[in-house]
Every structure is written in structure tokens, then in C-alpha cells.
């Protein structure tokens, strides 16, 4: 696989994108009736649905924080979401992704409003084609706003990386599997905070700066799609039960 050419002589990637192009992204807010908040995202060939419950009293008392809410993410991949049937249940990868996404989301909420509570976030990957942690985080942030959880700002997330020796934005599965590096970034444009940063592979400091800048700029674009999804939901549905909370107090006033 090492000798697969991922960028052709015209600078086009295997799916026709240029190096700095995102895959098409569609976000919908409030897609589930029985969750407090929800969102669905299609990002290239990724399909992910997120349901949020809470804030609700934390049943495991030893995990309660007396001064704040905590976020518990459960990232899960359906068996049919990948080429080779995935064994059901949480493996190491799912645990790792759940942990880093919990930490990122916790940074975006005004957690001292809800001491001793938990906000439970279920990220269900229905189809996976690389970048699911970023797409899942992007959708989870919309779902938390849809649940009316007060936030300092929405988290938008996107990976950049390196393929064929070139820095590119938003790697698809072929690029992720055979490329040189992958750099997932989670960013709150409103507060200019980076809440997720991982790196798999090798980048020089100059390549890192370029890749990081590309991902952050893409997050600004994705943030607008998140806002559009919330605006669409709440302008169509003004009588919705949780209408008073709408998209989280800080988010609606952005
Ligand atoms: O999805 P993300 O890029 O955040 O995570 P990853 O661990 O870098 O996985 C990249 C991709 O590999 C996933 O999106 C899936 O398409 C694929 N994958 C798979 O085919 N089977 C698995 N058990 C796990 C991942």
C-alpha cells in the first residue's frame, strides 16, 4: 500500500478534492424525540448520530463532582459501520476516543451551574470513513446545545494531516490508512480555545504549523454549519418543549 499515489499530477486527491478542501458536511439538530438533545452528521462517507441526556444526577456517587457537572461520552461503532464487521462492545480505541471527547466537551460547558450531575453523550457511528472522532465531536457539540446545556461556545472539529509528503485537510479512509500523519483538532472559535489535539505519524514543525492552521480555519467554516443547523431547527420549531432553553444561552447569543 505504501506506493499508492494519493495526490495526482494535477494536485487532486483520490476523491477529486484539492489539498485544502473539506469533504461535504451536512448537520441536522434535534433528530431524536427521546433524547434531551441530538444531532446527525454526514461528513463525506461518515454517518453519525448523537444523543445527549442531562444534566442529570450522577448515580455513581463516587464519580460526582461537588462543584460541577461532568461529561461522560460513549463513542460506539456499529458492527456494520466498517468494511470488516466490527466486534460489538468497547475496545481500547473506543475507550480512548470516548475519554478524549469527554475531556474536550467538558471544556466547552459552563459546568459549575450543575454540581453533582452528569451529561451523558452517546455517539453512534453508523458508517465510518476516517475522521469519526472529529465528526462525532462536531455533532456532539450541536446535540449538547440542542439539549440546552449552557456552553461558552460550540466545538468544531476537523483533522488535517500529510499524504504523499504534502499537508492536506480532512483525510478520508484511504489517506488515513496509507498517509504519513493525521492531526485531529477540536476548536472553539468563539473563545479561541483548542480542546482536542492529537497527532498520529510524523510532521516537521513547519508542517505541523501549516496542518494546525488548516484544521483551525476549517473549524471556523464548520462552526458556521453547526450554527446553521441549530438556527434551522429552532426557527422551524418554535413551540418545541425545550424551546425556552434553545441552543444554550451563550450559543444563541453568539
Ligand atoms: O475515525 P477516526 O479517524 O477518528 O479514527 P481512526 O482510529 O484513525 O480510524 C480511522 C478509520 O479507520 C475509521 O474512521 C474507520 O473508517 C476505520 N476503522 C475500521 O475500518 N475498523 C475499525 N475497527 C476501526 C477503524
Given a cut of 80, whether residue 1 has pLDDT beyond it is: no
pLDDT > 80? residue 254: no
Q: How far is the CA of 73 from the centre of ligand 1 (A)?
A: 18
Residues with CB under 6 A from ligand 1: 82-83, 86, 93, 128-133, 173, 176
Comparing 252 with 230, which gets the higher pLDDT? 230
Burial class (CB in 10 A: 0-12, 13-18, 19+), 11: exposed
From 101, 126, 128, the mutation candidate for ligand 1 (largest count of ligand atoms within 8 A of CB) is 128
Distance CA 175, CA 15 (A): 10
Please give the tally of structural domains in the chain: 1
Q: Which residues contact 253 (CB under 8 A, 6 or more apart)?
A: none
User: Residues 6 or more apart from 111 whose CB is under 8 A from it?
Assistant: 65, 68, 69, 70
CA 131 – CA 222 distance, rounded (Å): 14
pLDDT for position 237? 57
CA of 184 from ligand 1 middle (Å) equals 13
CATH number of the domain enclosing 89 = 3.30.230.70
Distance of alpha carbon 111 from alpha carbon 192, whole angstroms: 19
Decide if 18 is inside a domain.
Answer: no
pLDDT over 90 at 247, yes or no: no
Q: Which atom of ligand 1 is nearest to the CA of 128?
A: 16
Atom 6, ligand 1: residue with shortest CA distance? 130
C-alpha 56 – ligand 1 centre gap (Å)? 31
Q: What is the pTM of this model?
A: 0.93
User: What single string gives the DSSP state of each residue in 173-212?
Assistant: HHHHHHSSEEEEEEEETTTTEEEEE--EE---HHHHHHHH
Question: Over the stretch 60-94, which tens digit does the pLDDT of each residue have?
Answer: 889 899 999 999 999 999 999 999 999 988 999 99
Over residues 95-139, the pLDDT tens digits come to: 999 999 999 999 999 989 999 999 999 999 999 999 999 999 999
Is residue 10 included in any domain, yes or no?
no
Instruction: Compute the distance between CA of residue 7 and CA of residue 230 in angstroms, rounded to an integer.
Output: 36
What domain range is 149 assigned to?
25-248
Q: Classify residue 123: in a domain, yes or no.
A: yes
Predicted confidence band at 251 (pLDDT cuts at 50, 70, 90)?
A: very low
Q: What is the mean pLDDT of the segment spanning 211-235?
A: 97
In a domain, residue 9? The reply is no
Q: Residues near 204 by Cβ (< 8 Å), separated by ≥ 6?
A: none
Collapse the DSSP code of 35 into the 3-class scheme (helix H, G, I; strand E, B; otherwise coil) and give the result.
Answer: coil
* Mutate-to-test residue for ligand 1 from 46, 78, 79, 82, highest number of ligand atoms within 8 A of CB: 82
Q: Is the pLDDT of residue 212 over 60?
A: yes
CB atoms within 10 A of CB 41: 29
Q: Determine the Cα–Cα distance for residues 143 and 171; give it in Å rounded to an integer.
A: 24
Residue from 130, 183, 201 whose mutation best tests the ligand 1 pocket (most atoms within 8 A of CB)? 130
More confident residue, 250 or 128: 128
Helix boundaries (H) for the chain: 92-108, 132-146, 173-178, 205-236, 249-252
User: pLDDT of 33-49, one tens digit each?
Assistant: 999 999 999 999 999 99
Q: Is residue 76 part of a domain?
A: yes
Least confident range from 169-178, 199-208, 239-248: namely 239-248
In the chain, the percentage of residues whose pLDDT exceeds 70 is 92
Measure 15 CA to ligand 1 centroid, in angstroms: 18
Cα–Cα distance between 225 and 219 in angstroms, integer?
A: 10
The answer as to whether 49 is a domain residue is yes
240 confidence band (pLDDT: 50, 70, 90): low
Q: How far is the CA of 98 from the centre of ligand 1 (A)?
A: 14
Distance CA 228, CA 84 (A): 35
Q: Give the ligand 1 atom nearest the CA of 83.
A: 20
Residue 254 lies in a domain: no
pLDDT of residue 5: 87
In a domain, 17, yes or no: no
Amino acid at each position: 500500500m505504501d506506493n499508492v499515489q494519493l495526490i495526482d499530477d494535477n494536485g487532486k486527491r483520490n476523491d477529486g478534492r484539492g489539498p485544502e478542501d473539506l469533504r461535504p458536511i451536512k448537520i441536522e439538530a434535534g433528530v431524536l424525540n427521546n433524547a434531551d438533545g441530538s444531532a446527525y452528521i454526514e461528513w463525506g462517507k461518515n454517518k453519525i448520530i448523537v444523543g445527549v441526556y442531562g444534566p442529570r444526577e450522577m448515580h455513581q456517587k463516587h464519580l460526582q463532582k461537588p462543584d460541577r457537572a461532568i461529561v461522560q461520552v460513549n463513542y460506539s461503532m456499529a458492527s456494520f459501520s466498517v468494511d470488516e464487521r466490527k466486534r460489538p462492545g468497547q475496545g481500547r480505541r473506543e475507550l480512548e476516543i470516548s475519554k478524549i471527547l469527554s475531556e474536550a466537551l467538558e471544556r466547552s460547558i459552563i459546568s459549575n451551574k450543575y454540581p453533582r450531575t452528569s451529561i451523558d453523550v452517546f455517539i453512534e457511528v453508523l458508517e465510518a470513513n476516517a475522521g469519526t472522532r472529529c465528526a462525532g465531536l462536531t455533532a456532539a457539540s450541536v446535540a449538547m446545545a440542542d439539549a440546552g446545556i449552557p456552553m461558552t461556545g460550540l466545538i468544531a472539529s476537523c483533522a488535517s494531516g500529510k499524504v504523499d509528503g504534502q499537508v492536506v485537510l480532512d483525510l478520508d479512509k484511504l489517506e488515513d490508512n496509507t498517509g504519513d500523519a493525521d492531526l485531529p483538532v477540536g476548536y472553539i472559535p468563539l473563545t479561541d480555545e483548542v480542546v482536542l489535539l492529537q497527532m498520529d505519524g510524523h510532521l516537521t514543525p513547519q508542517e505541523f504549523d501549516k496542518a494546525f492552521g488548516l484544521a483551525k480555519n476549517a473549524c471556523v467554516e464548520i462552526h458556521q454549519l453547526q450554527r446553521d443547523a441549530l438556527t434551522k431547527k429552532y426557527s422551524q420549531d418554535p413551540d418545541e418543549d425545550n424551546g425556552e432553553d434553545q441552543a444554550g444561552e451563550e450559543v444563541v447569543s453568539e
